[in-house]
Structure 1
Amino acid sequence: MARSTPGNPLDAWLAAVALGGRGWYAAAAFHLGLLISGSDPVIAALASATRASHLRQVGGHALARPFDSAGLRRLAESDLLGPDGIDGDHPDRPGPQAADAAAARSDVLLGLAADALGQGRTAEARRLFGIESASVNAGWRAVVRRGWVAAEIELGAGRVDAAVAPAEAAAAAAQATGSVRHQIKSSLVLGASLAAVGERPSAQELIFGAHADATRLGLWPLVWPCALVLADVDPEHADAHRRAAARALHGVLRHSDPIARAAAAASPWVPTWLFSGWSD
């Protein structure tokens, strides 16, 4: 697709977010790279967090961490964290909803927590989550993402019963927004949490719905993980779900940059059988 860059940095960031939502990571990375090196520290931090998120979506938690760290550094260098750093109160630079300094701070801290969790550092993830969750007025996106990360931390720690409540909170918060993508991912997180505690019928209903909605809307980064969960909660049709997951992931990889493709291939979070029949 043509790489025309919106003139407004906020519009360019929103365009990159939308591209990433469809799995067009290479095009998104083009926009984000320009914004990360741009002069606006808040947009640069948001862009860094978004690039990190896209890498995590293909299992690249180690590669995502430097981007989240760079976003935090841009905020610190512009005195947007406060004198006590990430543990203290921080000044806010007013901006559009979910695109101000508070939202950027939330994005990078939650991102760093997710990066740590994906590399098996649960205690570090919990500490970073605790720092971020003490913040206020970071916008609706932060509220939803806190629920996701909290649930994922508990799942990663083996405390599956504790994962359900934050997943339910994320789903409820997402329903109050206009973001279908956040609603679908919240259903995925809640469904996975319910499956972990043995509530298979409820998990099936949520994940089938999320998979259908993500497929209909072309949100391929959500399609393939939904299909993977379905292979577990709907074992009678596991082979069909796995084939659907592979097709969706292959589509994402075809629209990914080399870094994202390499991250997926090397990730312990992406089953190797998903690459069967894949060629770039």
Structure 2
Amino acid sequence: MDDEAFGSNPGAWPLPSAVTPHDRWLRAVAAAGQGRYACAHADLDALLRLRPRGLMLSLAQSTRASFLRQLGWHDRARSLDGRAWALSGGTGEAGADALVGLAADALGVGRFAASQRALQRAADLVAVTSGARLPIRLAWVSAELAMACGDDTALAHAERAVHLADAGPSIRHRVKSRVVLAAAHCAAGDLGAARQEGDRALAESGEHGLIPLRWAVASLLVGIGSAEHSPAQITDIRDTCAETVIRRGGVWRSR
């Protein structure tokens, strides 16, 4: 299951069966990466029925919060990330995950100072936590906050995410990192580089069935144009991805 959630096969469907709480969590992560939110929530519900403790219970809350954020519900995600933080005991992987989530939640509702404080606390935990996933997540949200604040460090954060993701096994992390990099180039005014990275992420997200990321990068390219697709084609890709997410159980905030 690691290969589907955080490895080289993120588009696999149907997903392997799961019995343990950890496998249920991996199934939920993999399903959401494909925009299969109904399946992802069902796996998290099944995980919670197994009465997990500690790390896994906290990660389940953080993961459900991330699904809400992906669909625009940052305000609803905040309470779940707060619960995840409380359950984590403020330490380790779960604590860092919850803090990065809280930073993203605050960013999504325009609370930039609160987002920065959460990121600073998360960075302290990430520095003493093993694994490749959390430094990448920290770089994503750091880049997004910098873009929102007009800070010229956005590109450096996005490039760090790409570097870290390219050194790891997760195709999904690589694609999202390129989406963030495309947005950072756009924010810096380099539309040529933004289109180049955006077109690459569009192709890779389509190849691997990563529908939410394909929607996100198509939404960016609708605004700045694509070097490889016409405006009508990009708009169709964006709208088709949004409709696919709805069919798979996602509820967009903007709709």
Query: Which TM class, normalised by the smaller chain length?
Result: 0.7 to 0.9
Shift of 1:209: 0.7
Q: Which residue of 1 is the match for residue 247 of structure 2?
A: 254
TM-score, normalization by structure 2: 0.88
* Greater RCO, 1 or 2 (C-alpha within 8 Å, sep 6+): 2
State the alpha-carbon separation in 2 of the partners of residues 13 and 39 from structure 1: 11
Match of 1:228 among 219, 230, 235: 219
Q: 1:243: Cα distance to partner? A: 1.9
Distance 1:191 1:34, change over 3 A: same
Tell me by how many angstroms 1:35 deviates: 2.8
Deviation at 1:239, TM superposition (A): 3.3
Larger radius of gyration: 1
1:143 alignment partner in structure 2: 135
Q: Structure 2 vs 1, CA of residues 5 and 238 (structure 1 numbering), >3 Å: closer, same or farther?
A: same
Count of residue pairs the alignment pairs up: 238
> Unpaired segments of 5 or more residues in structure 1?
82-89, 91-101, 268-274, 276-280
Deviations 1:19-70 (A, max 9, x none): 0110001111011123346232211111111111111111110111111111
| Aligned twin of 1:123 | 113
CA distance in 2, matches of 1:24, 1:13: 14
| Equivalence for 1:108 | 98
Q: Does the CA contact (< 8 Å) of 1:168 and 1:190 recur in 2?
A: yes
Measure how far apart 1:15 and its partner are. Answer: 0.8
Counterpart contact for 1:36–1:48, Cα < 8 Å:
no
1:2-21 residue CA offsets vs partner (Å, 9 max, x unmatched): 99962111111111110011
Which residue, 65, 69, 76 being the options, matches 2:82?
69
Helix, strand or coil for the counterpart of 1:134?
helix
- Give the conservation status (yes or no) of the 8 Å contact 2:24–2:46: no
Partner of 1:8: 20
SS at 1:213 equivalent = helix
Q: Could you tell me whether the CA contact under 8 Å between 2:81 and 2:102 is conserved in 1? A: yes
* TM-score normalised by the chain length of structure 1: 0.80
Q: 2:137, 2:103 → 1: CA distance?
A: 11
Shift in alpha-carbon separation, 1:74–1:224, aligned structure 2, 3 A? same
Gap regions ≥5 residues in structure 2: 1-12
SS of the residue aligned with 2:153? helix
Give the structure 2 partner of residue 272 of structure 1: none
Tell me the equivalent position of 2:30: 18
Q: How far does the alpha carbon of each residue in 1:253-280 deviate from its partner, in whole angstroms, 9 at most, with x for none?
A: 1111xxx41xx1x34xxxxxxx6xxxxx
